[in-house]
Structure 1
Amino acid sequence: MSDSPRVLLIAERFPPDIGGLARSGARTAGSLVKLGARVDVLAWTRTAAPGALQTVEDAGDVSPFARGVTLHRLGLFGSTDLSMQHTLDVLGYLHAKQRYDLVWGHYLSPPGFLAVAFAESVGIASTVSARGNDVDQLMFPPGDFARLLWTLQRARVLTAASADLGRKMCMLLGRDETVEVIPNAVDTGIFSPGPADPALRERLGIAPDEAVLGFSGELRHKKGLPFLLSALTEVRRVRPACLLVIGEVRPRDAEHLVAFRAEHPEDAARILISGPLDTPEAIAAHLRLCDVYLQPSLWEGMPNALLEAMACARPVIASDAGGIPEAVDAGRNGFIVSKALLNHLGQACLDVLSLPLEQRAAMGAAARQRIEERFQAHAEAEVLRRVLARAIPSRSS
């Protein structure tokens, strides 16, 4: 193991945090371990005292994706500048002990910026991974365009969750660059077709005649929260339906639900929120309850939750944000609504729910086939191996 590359991955979110960003960080770290790297993760948390460093020797205890990863959780201070300055000190402490070969920023800011800045300061390689709306968010005020551009210019290897994000990174750099697109990998053994669990349906309070509109992850504005609410109202004018949120609503976006409850109390009563789920198996069981899965995102990289729903052979309706059209072929394995026309989401739901069961099943089967063809662990591992070879060629042979 002495010749194994030492990698430190910096992540803003990591299990037990919920959401696609946390899951993709765990999966990337775990996949690097399978390729023979020794991997540490530094992730921030508000559950620890400010500045406190907690270490989990095997992150498989918090996520099955991250077996063999050493996880360091660092308590945040009240202000971002203090937290980031202290993080640099902690990175120095960890590097003195482990002597990393590569620092990996999982999301462009702040993890990517810190990864590049620290790597530059100690003379080692860095790579950054654009995952979602991080490029769009930093391009415009109050985002920090100068920091974004510096990060992209100084990282040794650029990676992205979708080809769309890669094109945006090249546009900002003003030159062609080899951006490694790391396809999100779905465990198709866990996320698989199957019958809905009637006991789970009953436990969640879903009525026998209700159509289930599904969403998975942390629901917030960028994921299309207002359009999901209006779609629920529109569908319920025609037929019984509920909105199943597989996860939770981001606290600062909860005010949208409060306003919706005041205006549409009966519809709001049919919003069912599972809360955080402990295992991928539990998420898959909830996805199988969905008659149609919705991903009306305004900005995206390549949403894990959408891919997991497709792997479960759910009919999906998604926006055309980010890399979504790289997974969803409109009319073949799902349906696309332009992100400029998401006010039509409710009608799209009604159209899909009115299709014959055989046609919806065929759509779901085609969705699963797409996942099996393009979003499997072997495709992810191939790109990660290439990233390691480019970033630290002397340690990756």
Structure 2
Amino acid sequence: MKSALKAQRPDVLLTFLHQANIVGRIAGRWAGVPRIISGVRVADRRWSVSWPERLTRHLTDHYVAVSQSVASVHRQLCGIAADRMSTIPNGVDYESIQQFAPLDRSVLNYNTTDRILLCAGRLSEQKAPLDVLTAFERTVSTDPVRYASLKLLFVGDGPLRATLEKRVVASRCRSAVQIAGWRSDVLNIMKSSDALILASRWEGLPNVILEAQAAGLPVVASDIDGCRELVDDNVTGRIFRSGDSGNLAQVVIEVLENPVKTKALASAAALNVAMEYSWATCISRFHQLLLQP
């Protein structure tokens, strides 16, 4: 990497993610790159991340975080001055997402009267899919007849898939739960679903929320870093206490039982994405940052 940087002689080196940040700032200094900027995507509190960041912070001229919460936590963990940190949120292609057509529900064995709760993401401890399943069971148990048409769809794969599959088989709601695995048509599925549930224990700024909001899909998200910046409770979506399946079930019921309000929240969220989180806005902010001396 040092040789490549010496040959290309960039004015600025911009890296993203922990390993690339460490390697990039060391190689960049050795190669004589004038300005080095490190991108921080997640507020990783593990010492194995924070200490290498602390030990090499003097090699970085500036940091750019994906959210205000990530910026704040990373600054505190690594002892970074406020004037060395900027925040530039992720962007999505809002106009392109508008063009995606809803997936024909029969492809996933659903019908037009089903109400689909979508959980899209990696099946890992971070995303807490077991919490979602537990909350779904609690929701249905409050009124099995009323919620007979309610479905839970997991889209994604990961280390918890086998565990989740076993839990589904043992669940009294097993006929209403589907694990579809990784799919390339997630945006089409969003257009056919009734709500997105994100139960993550930690996030930077989750793209899946931005994509769902741009697609007009109501969002129910955990009360954690990142999610709170995208979901203003009862304004652009709904928030529940992270790790509390009972509270999640309660919020899901409120979303299902108040369709007019839920639609209004989704509309407000879509407008917010169009105004604040477009790719054009994101690119413009990075362009301004990179042009700074």
Q: What TM bracket, shorter-length normalisation?
A: 0.7 to 0.9
Selected match of 2:127 from 223, 238, 241: 223
Deviation at 1:303, TM superposition (A): 0.5
Aligned to 2:59: 154
Deviation at 1:115, TM superposition (A): 1.2
Residue 264 of structure 2 is aligned to residue 264 of structure 1: no
What amino acid does structure 1 have at the position aligned with 2:130?
P
Measured in 2, the distance between the counterparts of 1:145 and 1:189 equals 38
Deviation at 1:268, TM superposition (A): 6.8
Which structure has more relative contact order (CA 8 Å, sep 6+)? It is 2
Selected match of 1:372 from 231, 249, 274: 274
Aligned to 1:189: 95
What amino acid does structure 1 have at the position aligned with 2:227?
I
Measured in 1, the distance between the counterparts of 2:62 and 2:276 equals 22
Q: Percent identity?
A: 20
Counterpart secondary structure, 2:23: helix
Measured in 2, the distance between the counterparts of 1:343 and 1:148 equals 38
Aligned to 2:224: 321
Deviation at 1:189, TM superposition (A): 1.2
Structure 2: segments with no counterpart, 5+ residues = none
Deviation at 1:345, TM superposition (A): 1.3
Contact 1:242–1:272 at 8 Å: present in 2 too? no
Contact 2:65–2:85 at 8 Å: present in 1 too? yes
Output the TM-score relative to the length of structure 2. 0.88
What amino acid does structure 2 have at the position aligned with 1:175?
A
Residue 81 of structure 2 is aligned to residue 171 of structure 1: no
Counterpart secondary structure, 1:309: helix
Measured in 2, the distance between the counterparts of 1:151 and 1:242 equals 48
CA RMSD across the alignment: 2.4
Measured in 1, the distance between the counterparts of 2:172 and 2:3 equals 53
Deviation at 1:165, TM superposition (A): 0.8
Selected match of 2:108 from 204, 207, 227: 204
Residue 211 of structure 2 is aligned to residue 305 of structure 1: no
Measured in 1, the distance between the counterparts of 2:99 and 2:247 equals 28
Measured in 1, the distance between the counterparts of 2:219 and 2:69 equals 20
Contact 2:2–2:28 at 8 Å: present in 1 too? no
Measured in 2, the distance between the counterparts of 1:191 and 1:340 equals 31
What amino acid does structure 2 have at the position aligned with 1:122?
A
What amino acid does structure 2 have at the position aligned with 1:117?
I
Residue 28 of structure 2 is aligned to residue 119 of structure 1: yes
Deviation at 1:175, TM superposition (A): 3.5
Aligned to 1:354: 257
Aligned to 2:5: 95
